[in-house]
Structure 1
Amino acid sequence: MSIPAQSASRETRRRSNVTFASRLVFEDIRHSYHGKETLFGISLAAEPGEVLCLLGPSGSGKTTLLRIAAGLEAQSHGRIVIDGRDVAGPKDFLPPEKRGVGLVFQDFALFPHMTVLENVRFGLTALSSREAVAEAGMALERVGLSHYAEKYPHALSGGEQQRVALARALAPRPGVLLMDEPFSGLDSRLKDAIRTDTLAILKESRATVIVVTHDAEEAMRMADRIALLRDGRLVQQGTPEELYRRPVNLFAAGFFSEINEFGGAVKAGMVATPLGSASASGIGEGRAVSVAVRLSDVDVGPAGGSAPARILSRRFLGVVEFVTLAVPGMEEPICARIRADRLPAGVDDVSISVAPEDILVFEKAS
């Protein structure tokens, strides 16, 4: 009988043998495809033992950057450096199997005609047959699937297949593990549990991990650091908290949460918005700005407050309600996410407010 992925407790897994984590550096990486530039001088480092998430929308270049690190594609300019050694540059290009990296693909890429054990031992070509079987068995124990060693991939759930792919990538004990959207094909009900268990395995292995994802929440759940990409350029890098609390522009703010957007201009170091005034420190007098307020930062309360509003619609979403509000003097409505029991049923007239520190101000690009 198949055991659900989320039931594989850490107590039933063998703890990983320690991997010597590597430092991987992207140095001024450029890439073009059929004459069209796709990456524009990206410089970034994955530090030993950390989980670095490459985050961005489709077409941002994150998977291309991962494939360049793996040796599956070649950059047009720049270097890939692992532990101080050029593995891809003007004079060097090592194939994937010579780089000391492990790969977990979006579709897991398991061989359907091989058993689970045979899949995991596939890359252990430097070992004898007996040693490879033993090492593959230990890798399966680490992910809690040693009892599935003789089964074939089609007999496993998506979550179990993902863990087999992880075991195969970790079996050679790589210094760097590269994962391309590893959870995107999983059932959303199981994704959180599988992601949590995978992160525990990765931390035990102590490998340096680079994960590609388009999901900001997933990146924040997994990453020690996040590199946010857009249109082949690095927008911002830092810890999840840094990117969420101190986004560098409107794109970064909107990628991590739903936002209301306003326009404005700086006057005496401040900018006026429909939800109150905010500091525009560092932006020149009279300069046009973009203002963002997260939906979760809009406080909606009983009528009589400083900023009156009328509810246009409200949708119950379980823990929260999604509320659309009309504000005097504004053509576009304002949206908010509030606690589900915050307002009584049937209320139309309310007031709204936002703490000044929750109003994000960005200079408009020229």
Structure 2
Amino acid sequence: MNVQRTKPVAPVAASRVTAGVTFAARLAFENIGHSFNAHRQTLADISFAAEPGEVLCLLGPSGSGKTTLLRIAAGIEPQTSGRVLLNDREIAGPSVFLPPEQRSIGLVFQDFALFPHLTILDNVRFGLTALSREEARREAHIALSRVGLEHHAQSFPHVLSGGEQQRVALARALAPRPAVLLMDEPFSGLDSRLKDSVRAETLAILRESRATAIVVTHDAEEAMRLGDRIALLKSGRLVQAGRAEELYLKPANLFVAGFFSELNLFDARVRDGTADTPVGKVAASGFTEGAQVTIAVRMSGFDVSEDAGGAEARILSRRYLGVVELIEFAVSGAENPVRARIRCGALSPNARDIWLSLRKSDVLVFETGDENA
């Protein structure tokens, strides 16, 4: 697959037609469990819902059960327990299991799954079996126009870039005008230079079509860019669900905090409502006196100065990254080097011994041992 072409995507938006409106549905998972055998449970008691017209990102590390949950929603994989409901109608559960073609749910695969021997038009037309040949061609042309690729109707997949193939897969999924669209890591195969523009274009198309969408990703930043809400999974369990700012600012536990930010971790005990760390004192209200806590400081959580004040630190390494520098410090009392992202120009080129102070908004306190809560 050719993913090196960097043909701009955004300008195409001006030439495409407005996406046909679907009747968005509410897709709900109730106490979903799944296992391949008695010794391997992949999902445990998963409950959440994607609301009508919402883009919900299903986020988590590899092996957390994201794709399995998507396959259950699509009807490709049966769950072991629980129910799937579409607008409060059970489509998969103890008493019913609708086949994929009866669910009004579209699916975009990670590898796009385009047929290499069919034209782009025929790829998009492939699933429109309920329509006459002429009606199917018309709907396929409309779907290609929505994604700005009608001029490629008679081309074959191999001549398209990765970004264009992704848009063909999206057009094919939207052509039947599903109530819910499922997307399994749809941008993972794209050149990094294309991702931003293709994601923005995809989001615009989803907004126009008004279909409810669930997008699987392992990239926290991508989930924050795309999702109205995020559901974070770990080891087959739902850890936290909510808006991006809720998960970032008020993470349920250390795992959630670490998934959205690189962290510096310090162990401490609570004394008089504070916890003392090598980089300064931290407020720890709400914890019992003497409690063992873990202080998490994001890499963006440090202010630096070459004038005395704060925690003394020595620069071990610094890497120029453009807008910021990635710097490692040695701090007395810290077992590991402290890592920080500092705006370029904040320190002189020859700085060595400096002082650190904390930004309260980037400091989080957790009871030690809650990593898997």
TM-score in terms of structure 1 length: 0.97
Matched, 1:315 2:345: no
CA–CA separation in structure 2 for the residues paired with 1:180 and 1:109: 12
Give CA-to-partner distance per residue, 1:181-200, whole Å, 9 cap, x none: 00000000111011111110
Q: Which moved more, 1:83-92 or 1:294-303?
A: 294-303
Partner in structure 2 of residue 260 of structure 1: 264
1:139 pairs with 119, 122, 143, which one?
143
Change in 2 beyond 3 A, CA 1:3/1:192: closer
Match of residue 15 from structure 1: 18
Distance 1:5 1:96, change over 3 A: farther
Aligned pairs (5 A) from 1:96-245:
96-245=100-249
Number of equivalent positions: 365
Aligned 8 A contact 2:280 2:310 in 1: no
With 32-41 and 275-284 compared, the bigger mean Cα shift is at 275-284
CA–CA separation in structure 2 for the residues paired with 1:306 and 1:296: 16
Aligned counterparts of 2:285 and 2:99: Cα–Cα separation in 1: 50
Q: Distance in 1 between matches of 2:284 and 2:80?
A: 40
Contact 1:278–1:357 at 8 Å: present in 2 too?
no
Between the aligned partners of 1:157 and 1:84, the Cα distance in structure 2 is 40
Residue 8 of structure 1: how far off its partner (Å): 4.1
- After superposition, give the CA deviation of every residue in 1:328-360 in whole Å (9 maximum; x if it has no partner): 222311110011221111110111011234320
**SS of residue matched to 2:271:** coil
Q: Find 2:29's aligned residue among 26, 35, 52.
A: 26
Q: Which amino acid aligns with 2:300?
A: S
- Structure 2 gaps of 5+ residues are none
CA contact (8 A) 1:326 1:334 kept: yes
Structure 1 residue aligned with 2:255: 251
The RMSD of aligned alpha carbons is: 1.3
Separation in structure 2 between the aligned mates of residue 186 and residue 293 of structure 1, nearest angstrom:
32
Quick one: structure 1 residues 63 and 288, their matched pair in 2 at CA, closer, same or farther if it must change by over 3 Å? same
Is the 1:267–1:286 contact (alpha carbons within 8 Å) kept by the matching residues of 2?
yes
Classify the secondary structure of the residue corresponding to 2:9: helix
Query: CA–CA distance in 1 between the matches of 2:360 and 2:198?
Result: 39
Alignment correspondent of 2:64 = 60
**Matched position secondary structure for 2:122:** helix
Contact 1:25 1:46 in 2 (8 A): yes
Output the CA distance in 2 between the equivalents of 1:281 and 1:169.
50
Distance 1:303 1:311, change over 3 A: farther
Q: Is 1:37 matched with 2:41?
A: yes
Mapped contact 2:300–2:362 kept (Cα < 8 A): no
Distance 2:223 2:94 in 1: 32
Measured in 2, the distance between the counterparts of 1:76 and 1:240 equals 30
- Partners of 1:280 and 1:69 in 2: CA distance: 42
Cα distance in structure 2, aligned partners of 1:204 and 1:3 = 25
Task: Please give the secondary structure, in 1, of the residue aligned with 2:45.
Answer: strand
Deviations 1:36-80 (A, max 9, x none): 111110101000000000001001111111111111111111000
1:363 maps to 2:367: yes
TM-aligned CA deviation for residue 3 of structure 1: 8.6
Structure 1 unaligned residues grouped into runs of 5+ = none
